[in-house]
Structure 1
């Protein structure tokens, strides 16, 4: 608590604290949403199995408009990435050094998850578990990695996309929305492959809006002559039209148009709103942005109180760990309850199933708290995400130089360093994608496909070496 009080007291007054609050709220809502719709039962062989109950609860579809918070995460990610990149460049740093530091806090806890799961899978295989059974368990535990793959795809594009934002402003997300519309059209009339790009275009569009929010906050200080077309001031005058327009468009697209009402993943539907992002989801994201801008001033005043801000700092210190391990907590709890023959399996939607949600969530929170206590220190080693830092984003400055600039490199060495950094990110994303698309019943002795694990570790290892200064001397 003393450390939290120190961090809270040292936060610069100009920090956009609501960004940290939204990041924490988005992850907490994802975790609670996944837990709440979990349906546990037994398969034909008498083994515990799980699935999402959302498809069996049509009355809950409108609630997904509140539960779908991934756009919020990409929005605040765009704000934070713009803030840290511009701060790094103002100190004489380069985009490559920024990418290496930005990826470090994401990859440390992710590497821990993958290595622990692979090690556990190896032990399970040694004691006689079947490879397909191992894969099913690990597949469920690594479901959160699909989102991380999308985010790690967007982060290295930040320097280029922010430069485009500085040049063209809000025309960039509008162009990306048009590309999403083309992808949706492909899903409707073909070819369906046109929609693959929506995984990138949709999240990039929301990420760009974070840039516009950042510029509205920072422009008075360093860019007074910048065009207003690249700013989204957090005012009622801007927020209310975005809220009403976004909600109106989402209602037309879902109630009148061809899009489903559910904003969460619904396998089997032709125009799933979340996988990949659709026009309807982007309309909802617009409404969410409008609501955030409307409430921003009140939230900032509340977050200047010591206790709320300390709580936000504490959550952000381990927020990625919470996200990565929350489905592992489900596996551990189900296994423990099954072992003592106390695993309830009420039918989805019944009064018994709904009543079981409360103790279910409480028990899962206890299990996850234990996992965070063990693995959270890996993420927290870099410092809480809400801690004030020299880069303005809450990330620890771990480079040996104290002036914030990156070490000088020759032109050839700088190019090689940039290419290796890009290759490291690509390898990490490829590894995560391979794991996500590999069937959950594939016979994988390590749970994670070997190719996925090797690609991920090669990429993460390369980024770690580059960040430590490897190749900078010679």
Structure 2
């Protein structure tokens, strides 16, 4: 009955979607996350001979690496994130809202699902340790399940930087992402050419902010979705990608492969920026036909349904993979042919189906946390220094915690499977953000969130 009620509510929201909403943006968001989930699942290679061992298919079967040009679609998520954040912030300010209030509203949808994931992982690790499970296995399993948090950290940082970066965009336009891309290139040169340590780490910020800025330009029309712009951008991006990888120094894989000196995502490189330009051009190119297709209630309801739990879907997909490994390999239910072989390719179908079933159950259990409307600030102006200070402190704590978790190596980080200082910083920051929301008109509800199910309103 609960599932039927939720589906009816989602269909009602789909029917009530305002005509001015750009549904193509929501479609791209859903496609990006689903593609990343499937790509991660396909890249996993597990063997069991009394001990579970894992590796990446990309390392074991090099011929699969070009497929990452299709499955590495995080640039699309940041592109539509920039579009949605620009629209949302403009709408919030038109209603008299403050930057602090917007940040509290926008981060809430990200922090709540992440808090649930980390709490469950920590409790599972503590329980497993008490039951005598091998600490190394606990550490590896928790580390794998927490992999999606690196993305959350990067996207949350982009959300936090939205107000000042949007101001830069309004003054300098497309010069901002161009300059950020040049900084990525300088970081590559310093790291790869001059061998200067750590300087390239700034590309984690510069690269994703550059793609986010393209979303701003798309939203306000400076990057129009016309064939005269989309086709040259696609071809230029693809040409640069081929030159940088096939003829240049960058690897073909758009996902990190163990043993390679250069990884295109850790930190992001110019090759990844070329892929982002290609994907941006394609997104603009299909804009009009996609919008026409999404006028149909069936496809649009499906998009609304996925977007209603988009963060939950992403955060829990590696947990589903861990549970699938434990269910299929020690029990002998899934054979272990060589990766990349015809038998391995055929077995990817039942592997994906089992993981999809597990993830469906996880989303059914935890998706309500993302859909639930907790205490949100109202649209009014800040009532004092304290809410602003709490927002800044809480956001810093959450980002510091996520950074510590993302930097952790696989292994035994007792007692909760992840670095204790990072967990403490994250949970403290999340608690402070919740307090800040409660202080700002908690009786009012928000209808605006970064990846929410579509609700009547002005912003994407």
Please, what TM-score do these two structures have when normalized by structure 2?
0.91
Separation of aligned partners in 2, 1:145 and 1:467: 23
**Alpha-carbon contact 1:41-1:49 (below 8 Å) kept:** yes
Matches of residues 17-416 of structure 1 in structure 2 within 5 Å?
A: 17-42=23-48, 46-189=50-193, 190-216=195-221, 231-338=222-329, 340-382=331-373, 399=376, 401=378, 405-409=379-383, 413-414=384-385, 416=386
SS state at 1:50 partner: strand
Deviation at 1:161, TM superposition (A): 0.3
234 and 429 in structure 1: CA distance in 2 versus 1, 3 angstrom threshold: same
Counterpart among 400, 406, 424 of residue 436 in structure 1: 406
Aligned residues: 435
Contact 2:225 2:284 (C-alpha < 8 Å) held by counterparts: yes
Take 1:443 and 1:277, find their aligned partners in 2: how far apart are those partners? 27
CA shift at 1:325, angstroms?
Answer: 0.8
Q: Is the 8 A contact 1:26 1:69 kept in 2?
A: yes
Distance 1:419 1:174 in 2: 33
Maintained 8 Å contact 1:188/1:270: no
Task: Determine if contact 1:186/1:193 at 8 Å carries over to the other structure.
Answer: no
Deviation at 1:421, TM superposition (A): 1.3
The secondary structure found in structure 1 opposite 2:198 is helix
Check whether the contact 1:79–1:214 (CA below 8 A) recurs between aligned residues: yes
Instruction: Tell me if structure 1 keeps the 8 A contact 2:57–2:64.
Output: no
Query: Which segment drifts farther, 341-350 or 235-244?
Result: 341-350
After superposition, give the CA deviation of every residue in 1:151-187 in whole Å (9 maximum; x if it has no partner): 1111111000000000111111111011101110122
Q: Who is 1:389 aligned against?
A: none
CA apart distance, 1:407: 4.5
Q: 2:191–2:200: 8 Å Cα contact kept in structure 1? A: yes
**Conservation of the 8 A alpha-carbon contact between 1:184 and 1:271:** no
For the structure 1 residues 279 and 408, does the alpha-carbon distance in structure 2 shift closer, same or farther, using more than 3 Å as the test? closer
Instruction: Specify the SS of the correspondent of 1:267.
Output: coil
Partner of 2:449: none
In structure 2, how many angstroms separate the alpha carbons of the residues matched to 1:234 and 1:341?
51
- Partner secondary structure for residue 232 of structure 1: coil
Question: How far apart, CA to CA, are the structure 1 residues paired with 2:330 and 2:197?
Answer: 45
Shift of 1:253: 1.0
- Cα distance, 1:246–1:11 mapped onto 2, change above 3 Å: same
User: Could you tell me which residue of structure 2 aligns to residue 393 of structure 1?
Assistant: none
Say if 1:125 and 1:442 are closer, same or farther in 2 by CA, change over 3 A: closer
CA distance in 2, matches of 1:292, 1:213: 10
Measured after TM superposition, the shift of residue 82 of structure 1 is: 0.4
SS at match of 2:55: strand
Structure 2: distance between partners of 1:192 and 1:269 = 17
1:449 maps to which of 419, 423, 441: 419
Which residue of structure 2 aligns with residue 226 of structure 1?
A: none
Cα distance in 1 for partners of 2:286, 2:27 equals 12
Shift of 1:198: 0.3
Does the residue aligned with 1:54 lie in a helix, a strand or coil? helix
2:389 corresponds in structure 1 to 419
Cα distance in structure 1, aligned partners of 2:441 and 2:300: 41
Q: Which segment is superposed worse, 75-84 or 245-254?
A: 245-254
Deviation at residue 343 of structure 1 after TM alignment:
3.8
- Displacement of 1:470: 6.5
2:438 corresponds to which residue? 468
User: Is contact 1:182–1:194 with CA below 8 Å preserved after alignment?
Assistant: no
Write the deviation string for residues 10-46 of structure 1: whole angstroms up to 9, x where unpaired: 1111101111101110010011001112101136xx2
Any unmatched runs of 5+ in structure 2?
1-6, 443-460
> Unmatched 5+ residue regions in structure 1?
217-230, 383-395
Q: Cα distance, 1:471 vs. partner? A: 11
The change in CA–CA distance for 1:270 and 1:174 in structure 2 (over 3 A counts) is: same
CA contact (8 A) 1:131 1:445 kept: no
Over residues 434-462 of structure 1, what are the superposed CA-to-partner deviations in whole Å (9 max), with x where a residue is unaligned? 11222211342211211111000011111
Given that 1:30 and 1:67 are in contact with CA atoms closer than 8 Å, whether structure 2 keeps it comes out as yes
Task: Report how far residue 306 of structure 1 moved.
Answer: 0.5
Q: Is the 8 A contact 2:56 2:257 kept in 1?
A: no
Write the deviation string for residues 363-415 of structure 1: whole angstroms up to 9, x where unpaired.
11111111111111111224xxxxxxxxxxxxx9x6475xxx32452xxx23x
